[in-house]
Amino acid sequence: MTIKTIIFDAGGVLFLHDWYKLKSHIMKEHNFSILLYSDHPKKIQNKYKGLNIGKTSFKKVLSGLSGQKDIDLILRDYEKGYKKYQWLNSRLLIFLKKIKKKYQLFALTNTNDLHFELNTKQGLFKDFKKVYASSKIKVQKPDKRAFLAVLKDNHLNPEEVLFVDDQRQNLDVARKLGMNTLIFKNNKKFFKDLKKFGIK
């Protein structure tokens, strides 16, 4: 079956972040850790566990973690650090521009509202037909409903779809739904493996 559609994960594929440098940046300026799931107790984690499925906003998380109601300055510094400590996969982004007329391109990403907004502002999704952000569709990978949202919304035949992600648990679900899958580890391996599907 010929591949007609490619669905990409975003974080870990299109870009990477150095979260520890971003943490240090905010810690230095505002004296609190932004690493919700590693630096804060379960009680705090549970309070904001719906972040990536749109049950709360990242601004509310920043306000809660910092103990500040007015977070304009924190938000400005966070946005600055988010961009500063982000590495863009330029080779892949250029490749997407090259193939977007031949293949339907979609993004399916687990992300909160602020990160989605910042990445959209940077133009990281401009070559995709549509982006399915977990905070918008209210469900995240590896829940099969996230994948089905893309397939059903666009009337896609899963056998004609290639799904690219850096997490095996997500690839496993996509495969069970009938999609072709490709794990992303690095550009060298990715572009080599992509040729197996006749994509170059």
Class of domain 5-16+89-197 as given by CATH: alpha beta
How would residue 171 be classed by pLDDT, with cut points 50, 70 and 90? very high
Which pLDDT score, from 0 to 100, does residue 176 have?
98
What average pLDDT does range 3-25 have in this prediction?
Answer: 97
How would residue 165 be classed by pLDDT, with cut points 50, 70 and 90? very high
Helices within 56-112 (DSSP H only): 58-66, 72-84, 90-99
What average pLDDT does range 93-104 have in this prediction?
Answer: 98
Which pLDDT score, from 0 to 100, does residue 67 have?
94
What would the pLDDT profile of 27-52 be if each residue is shown by its tens digit?
999 999 999 989 999 999 999 989 99
In DSSP terms, 162 is beta-bridged to 6, 180
Above 90 in pLDDT, residue 1?
no
CA distances for 20 relative to 34, 82, 89, 102, angstroms:
9, 11, 19, 39
- Among residues of the chain, what percentage have pLDDT more than 70? 100
DSSP β-ladder status, 180-183 and 161-165: parallel
Q: Where are the domains of the chain?
A: 5-16+89-197, 19-84
- Among residues of the chain, what percentage have pLDDT more than 90? 98
What average pLDDT does range 102-131 have in this prediction?
Answer: 98
pTM for the structure as a whole: 0.96
